[in-house]
Amino acid sequence: MTTAILSGLIRPLVEPRLPEWVEPRWFMSKEEALALAPTAEIGWFDFTQPDAMAEVVTAATNLKWLNSIYAGLDFLPLDLLAHRGTVVTNGAGINAITIAEYAVMLMLTHAKGYREVVRAQDRHEWLMDSPGKRELCGERVLLLGLGAIGALVKTRLEAFGMEVVPVRRSPDAGSLGPDAWRAQLGGFDWIVLAVPSTPETRHLVGAEELATMKPSAVLVNVARGEVVDQDALVAALRERRIEGALLDVTTPEPLPADHPLWDAPGAQVTMHLSGRAQTRMFQRSADRFIANLARWRAGEPVTPRLDLTLGY
């Protein structure tokens, strides 16, 4: 028998389908998970608090395979997991559809001034003109990150008639290389960030990049807050050096109520909700986990596997 320590939140979706060789033990709190963790060969330790999840993973000294619903696991002790030889599968692609849809929604909301329309309705005020007159069609988008999310963002924006130029490690005729995009930043109307959080992508967009953007440029971040130098972004927005920043992610999270980013001109902050704007996340994750159990038993690779060296 293989001991699997699993969150009770996914028990209804998983338990009826578990194979006989799996001995499940369920937890509903961090304390219960910590008590069970040392016995785990397979673990699914998702918590909404990253510190709690990292603590439980650290306590799982016999863990052979760690599964998670989250795509970004940079908050875990990846070096320790690599040293232990733990295989890690993440939630890459689970929420890609809804995050891509959310990115498009943010862009349309900004382009059409829809927040002002909603506020006018709250005031019972009949507007005589649209507060937003920007059209997506014909505008240029620089897309950093062409994974599961970025690929879906690209096709959806192209359906609006936008020119989407991705950044690739091996660029082709329709893309830019990792060393070329900064020199062409001034030619884009929108900059969309969908990259993983790694030391390489920390402050990928900082003061220098913001200074290069055109005054009408809009930054869209559905990646991680630390991908952007947030202090430099607040300064750029306050000085009206770029038109807007549409941010589903911030540093830290939750963003303190008195943080200047909330009231920065042109900023929209949507509280890291893009991946939660759907109903099928847990079902997709359960289906993937059950399929991976069969692969694990057969000695086949489980997917999608996190590269513990790269962090994604």
Cα 134 from Cα 151, distance rounded (Å): 24
Cα 242 from Cα 105, distance rounded (Å): 20
Cα 49 from Cα 54, distance rounded (Å): 9
253 part of the active site: yes
> Token pair for residue 26?
């369920």
Question: Catalytic pick from 25, 202, 272, 305?
Answer: 272
280 part of the active site: no
Question: Catalytic pick from 125, 158, 200, 253?
Answer: 253
Question: Catalytic pick from 139, 224, 226, 243?
Answer: 224
Give, for 247, the enclosing helix (H) or strand (E): strand 244-247
Q: What is the largest CA-CA distance in the chain?
A: 70
Q: With contact defined as beta carbons under 8 Å apart, do 144 and 164 qualify?
A: no
Q: Which residue in 160, 156, 118 sits closest to 138, CA to CA?
A: 160
55 part of the active site: no
> Token pair for residue 23?
């001995």
Residues annotated catalytic, as ranges? 224, 253, 272
